[in-house]
Amino acid sequence: MVKRKIVIVGAGGRDLHNFNMVFRNDPEVEVVAFLFTQIPGVDFRRCPSIFAGEKYPNGIPIYPLDMLPNIVKSFAVDEVILSLSDLTYKELGNLISYIISTGCSFKILGLRDTMLDSIKPTLAITATKTGAGKSTVSRAFVKELVDRKLKVAVVRHPMVYGDIEQNLVQIFRSLGDLNRYSLTVEEREEYEPHLELGAVVLAGVDYRKILVEAERIGDVILWDGGNNDWPFFRPWYWVVVTDAIRPGIEVNAFPGEVNLRLADVVIITKVGIAKSENIKIIIDNIKKVNPSAEIVKADMEVKVDNPNLVTGKKVVVIEDAPTVTHGGTPYGAGYIAAKKYGAEVVDPRKYAIGIFKQIYEEFHHIGPVVPSLGYTEKQLKDLETMLNNIEADTIILATPAKIEKLIKINKPITRASWELTIVEGPSIKDLVNEFLSRKEPKTYNL
């Protein structure tokens, strides 16, 4: 039998899930490589055989995306499977053209092939684009569910940046459990707030096994989406977050528009700082593609835990990395807080070293803020050196991750965070009531 040779393009999340769901045991297919993009410093690794399966006793190599032409030529690749999120349609089109130009066919797997069904009520929180405020909304739902004395199993979209073999199934019941794994800053900033609210967090690589554990642990499952990807578990109720300061992105990003079309409710955040005409554009776009969706308007007020460290001070701002890198926003809560409380923001770009110099050169849209990169020990060291060299009074940390426990910082820290307030439409309590009234998953003609 002549096997069809394929390459899977992703960023250490959806790609491994798609492999496990569709290709792992397919006798007619040989996956010759994974190609990672978006996340710096996590390529040139190997997906181990313990996950890849008996067909791949030596595992599957992981290379950067720019090696695609060489890999196609060396391995006679027939098809490229795109398993990547957070793309504008222009980026998606350019990527498809790049793939087709190598001579390969191109494919995207859909919901029917990639979703798992749960026996427990499943609530999905996803977004139209990174930076919309999904994490803040997720926390609001977790708090409401926990306050009702429900056991909440939060299953986080994968962030496979560490040792794949050691991270097939991760279960975090307390903050202390975080130290059992070599977690990145990005992982910590997503897990810590849920743990502090009293939920159990699950993540890893093998989502078939993770689902079994989540069903055992939780009365309900909350899928906490990554980027603007759709869920791995078929929701019983689907919440999609989009933000009012980026009108049009809700129907111009992949797969964010997929989420929008399938949402039960769309929460438009940041309405307090948006133009009314922009909010109207977003509402019109929602109604065009999903007229049955409930629409909620919400504000996100930014606060800091110690304003005295900000007002009148020279500050350096750290924003969560995905929001200001492939999320496409110049800044987030930290910069807004600095301006709100009357601080002088020190431009960190002239202090950039190592990976940060590379990031600023690649993502020209980033403003005078520091992305919270920490995917490797070298990146954490670069972050520490850079922060300590910047001439400032205070660090505004706009990520829940306790970076100060990972690196030594020579400046006082204050945390900036968003606080969600419903302005118009059903409350979080009302939406949870609607979710809990559901008796089965959504169908989507599956």
CATH number, position 82: 3.40.50.720
> Does residue 104 sit in the same domain as residue 177?
no
Tokens 């439409």 correspond to 425
pLDDT number for residue 43: 56
- The amino acid occupying position 437 is S
Please name every residue paired with 154 in a beta bridge, in sequence order, or none if there are none.
201, 222
Average pLDDT for residues 69-75, to the nearest whole number? 95
Nearest 10 degrees: Cα torsion 51, 54, 59, 63: -80
Using pLDDT thresholds of 50, 70 and 90, give the confidence band for residue 347: very high
| Residue 412 forms part of a structural domain | yes
Domain stop point among 41, 76, 109:
109
CA distance 202 to 210: 7
Using pLDDT thresholds of 50, 70 and 90, give the confidence band for residue 87: very high
Whether the pLDDT of residue 145 is over 70: the answer is yes
> Does residue 139 sit in the same domain as residue 238?
yes
> Does residue 372 sit in the same domain as residue 431?
no
> Does residue 324 sit in the same domain as residue 240?
no
Whether the pLDDT of residue 260 is over 70: the answer is yes
CA distance 209 to 20: 11
Domain stop point among 73, 88, 109:
109
Full domain range(s) for residue 210: 114-300+421-437
- Model pTM score: 0.88
| Residue 445 forms part of a structural domain | no
| Residue 442 forms part of a structural domain | no
Sheet of strand 29-36, all strands in order from the earlier edge strand to the far edge = 45-47, 60-64, 29-36, 4-10, 79-82, 105-107
Domain stop point among 80, 109, 138:
109
> Does residue 176 sit in the same domain as residue 272?
yes
> Does residue 247 sit in the same domain as residue 318?
no
Name the residue with higher pLDDT: 154 or 358. 154
Across 83-228, the runs of DSSP E, i.e. the strands, are 87-88, 105-107, 122-127, 152-156, 169-172, 200-204, 220-224
pLDDT number for residue 12: 81
| Residue 340 forms part of a structural domain | yes
> Does residue 221 sit in the same domain as residue 286?
yes
> Does residue 390 sit in the same domain as residue 333?
yes
* Mean pLDDT for the chain overall: 92
Tokens 């699950």 correspond to 202
**Percentage of the chain modeled with pLDDT above 70:** 97
pLDDT number for residue 307: 94
> Does residue 208 sit in the same domain as residue 341?
no
Name the residue with higher pLDDT: 185 or 80. 80
Name the residue with higher pLDDT: 359 or 291. 291
Using pLDDT thresholds of 50, 70 and 90, give the confidence band for residue 91: very high
Exposure on the CB side of residue 125, measured as CA atoms within 13 A: 23
Structural domain total, the chain: 3
- Altogether, the residues listed in the chain come to a count of 446
CA distance 206 to 376: 22
pLDDT number for residue 445: 57
Average pLDDT for residues 305-317, to the nearest whole number? 95
Taking Cα atoms as reference points, which of 340, 339, 347 lies closest to residue 316?
347
CB count within 10 Å of CB 261 equals 15
CA distance 16 to 167: 12
Using pLDDT thresholds of 50, 70 and 90, give the confidence band for residue 44: low
Whether the pLDDT of residue 266 is over 60: the answer is yes
| Residue 324 forms part of a structural domain | yes
CA distance 290 to 283: 10
Q: Hey, what are 103's tokens?
A: 């001579």
Strand 200-204 versus strand 169-172 pairing type? antiparallel
